Structure 1
Amino acid sequence: MLLNKFFMRLLLSFCFCLISHLTFSQNWQIIWEDNFDGSQLDLSKWTHDIGSGSQFGLWGWGNGELQFYQSQNTELENGIATITVKEEPSGLVDSWNNSFYYSSSKITTKGKFDFRYGKVEARIKSIDGQGFWPAFWMLPTNGQWPCDGEIDIMEQWGNNYLTNSTTGAAHIGTCPYSQASHFYQNFSSYISSGSYADEFHTYSIVWKPDTIKWYVDEVEKFVLTPSSYFSIPNQHEWPFNSNEWYIMINLAITQDGPNLNTVFPNQIEIDYVRVFQDISTSSLNYEIKDFDFFPNPTKEKLYINKNLIQSVHIHDLSGKLLLKKIINDDYINVDFLNSGIYIVTIKGKDGNKKNKKLIIK
């Protein structure tokens, strides 16, 4: 089975390279990925959200969801991560002393990996059944909801029949939350036959300044720009050009819950999650309009906007200066650095400074 999966990945990689060349015409480089090849979830890449959200002042994670998240509902085998939803007849009790009679899992890169812009993709086999709500989505690190945004790459709602529709969306609004000032744009894409739970499908976005595009199985389904929202710029700002963002995948149960036809236990399966960024020279000034660098993590080069940045200093975690460079080019060689974590200080031509963590692979 592992051998079959290896050849399948080779075929998928070939197809992805061909399609991305024809469709996107960009030079994508993987900056982060998990192929779930181990026997346990890689905790250097992921962490678990636990419980019902009560510890954050949320009832059912803010949506009245009926599941209690726990880490043991995520398992890895033969290169596949499985999130299983189960009945819990005895109940699982949260910090508000409420009992939950279903368990599931939510994995997130929060505190482990975040980024801005690129192609974000997962290959997932979904789930059939009333009440099930799988999602692959992103939020901004240290952001507030909904004023700092939310990007839903894939959401599906199970029903009495087949899960033949997949959706994606982007949320904006004001903080604190007000229903009157919360807006989102979304799409639905229907499979021609069967269900999204019958086999694996790829769900992705291509995210650039002022643009987000959604893809299902490498076919473009939806595009958003600031002009897609009538409330921009008079009432809201486009929040998707700001902050660093982290990834989440979870299997929830909606407030309406399952019915007698819903099968337990049940699961979604995840083959891989990947983040790419475009390193083509022609795209550098477009991709790096702000005070930043990419890719991160990296092995050899950091790309920057030489029109905005005057100098870059790199220190190790003890504070030792390892590189001091006046910027004349649109990249910096960092192949002399050993694998590990470093602190980069960027000084702009306007005199402002920014410190950011750099990971060398």
Structure 2
Amino acid sequence: MTITKAQDKGSNGSYELVWSDEFDKDGAPDTANWQFEKGFVRNHELQWYQPENAYCKDGKLIIEARNEHVLNPGYLAESTDWRTNRKYIDYTSASLNTAHAKKWLYGRMVMRARIDTAAGLWPAFWTLGEKGQWPSNGEIDIMEYYRGKLLANIACGTNTAYKAKWYSNTTPIKNLKGKNWSKHFHTWRMDWDSTAISLFVDDSLLNRVELKDLVNQDGTEINPFKQPHYILVNLALGGDNGGNPSHTTFPRKYEIDYIRVYQKKD
């Protein structure tokens, strides 16, 4: 798809479009852009990630959460690992990322999407740094939703492995304009340069953190936001933060109209 000036809401005189996926071709997502996570992955979440739950239709990427009851192929009866001690998979969904294909240092990242805010759902649009162990590689949650609130988060490392220093702001959905807010598409944006990271929804600032405050607190003096990051989009369920989906009817959809990346002109 050729993006017209009228359609291009992310650029201005100082930015130019360097990458996008408009999801215009029906079928599986473009593997030149996206790869899939598989299985139980993080945060004690309930869903089993699999490629079958992501597809493009009518110009949108659909990530679909389903209520399914199948055997966990990795099940180990005596295991103490949450990934392998569950005999059954009760939910499936999808998680996609650009780690194998596309990474960027600084720029403007934009997603137009409609998120489902039913109980237990945990959709996200985020980035991770290409090098380092989490969270010392850096995490930016441009959009994260669970339990009635939007989150705009940035995390760097501490002197304890796998313990993040979070810079987080939350916004209750009920405080956003319109009683049917979640029924509509909205635009999330990150502006990231060598001085700060700013996170927006529909052009309203949700969070801003200066890069000088994001140095890993482990004595290395590494700033994980001065390295390239890749994009992730996923729809999780339950787990550490997502809430209880047991009274939610399925399937449920996270609908993404486009994802675009801009960088400043030389």
Q: Does 1:219 align with 2:204?
A: yes
1:172 to 146, 156, 159: 156
Q: Does 1:120 align with 2:105?
A: no
Unaligned runs of 5+ in 1: 1-5, 54-60, 285-361
2:170 to 188, 192, 199: 188
Contact 1:119-1:276 within 8 A present in 2 as well: yes
Contact 1:125-1:196 within 8 A present in 2 as well: no
Deviation (angstroms), 1:175: 6.1
1:258 to 233, 244, 250: 244
Contact 2:155-2:166 within 8 A present in 1 as well: yes
Distance 1:241 1:172 in 2: 9
Indicate how the Cα distance of structure 1 residues 91 and 129 shifts in structure 2: closer, same or farther if over 3 A, else same.
farther
Contact 2:158-2:217 within 8 A present in 1 as well: no
Aligned length: 250
Q: Does 1:39 align with 2:26?
A: yes
Q: Does 1:90 align with 2:70?
A: yes
Distance 1:198 1:268 in 2: 11
2:183 to 195, 198, 210: 198
Distance 1:31 1:276 in 2: 5
- Cα distance per residue 1:146-166 (max 9 Å; x no partner): 112111110000x4xxx4x32
Q: Does 1:133 align with 2:122?
A: yes
Distance 2:140 2:122 in 1: 16
Q: Which of 1 and 2 has greater Rg?
A: 1
Q: Does 1:50 align with 2:38?
A: yes
- Cα distance per residue 1:164-192 (max 9 Å; x no partner): x321111012366254xx31111123412
Deviation (angstroms), 1:237: 4.1
Contact 2:54-2:61 within 8 A present in 1 as well: yes
Deviation (angstroms), 1:11: 8.3
- Matched residue SS, 2:244: coil
Contact 2:152-2:169 within 8 A present in 1 as well: yes
Match of 2:49 in 1: 69
Match of 1:341 in 2: none
Distance 2:5 2:248 in 1: 35
Deviation (angstroms), 1:91: 3.9
Deviation (angstroms), 1:67: 0.5
Deviation (angstroms), 1:246: 0.6
- Matched residue SS, 1:13: coil
Deviation (angstroms), 1:93: 3.1
Query: Greater helix share, 1 or 2?
Result: 1
What one-letter code is carried by the residue in structure 1 that aligns with 2:165?
A: F
What one-letter code is carried by the residue in structure 1 that aligns with 2:103?
A: D
- Cα distance per residue 1:14-65 (max 9 Å; x no partner): 6x26xx64xxxx4211111000011221110111111113xxxxxxx1x111
Higher relative contact order (CA 8 A, sep 6+): 2
Deviation (angstroms), 1:238: 6.2
What one-letter code is carried by the residue in structure 2 that aligns with 1:42?
A: D
Unaligned runs of 5+ in 2: 76-83
Deviation (angstroms), 1:75: 1.3
Distance 1:192 1:223 in 2: 21
Distance 1:236 1:254 in 2: 35
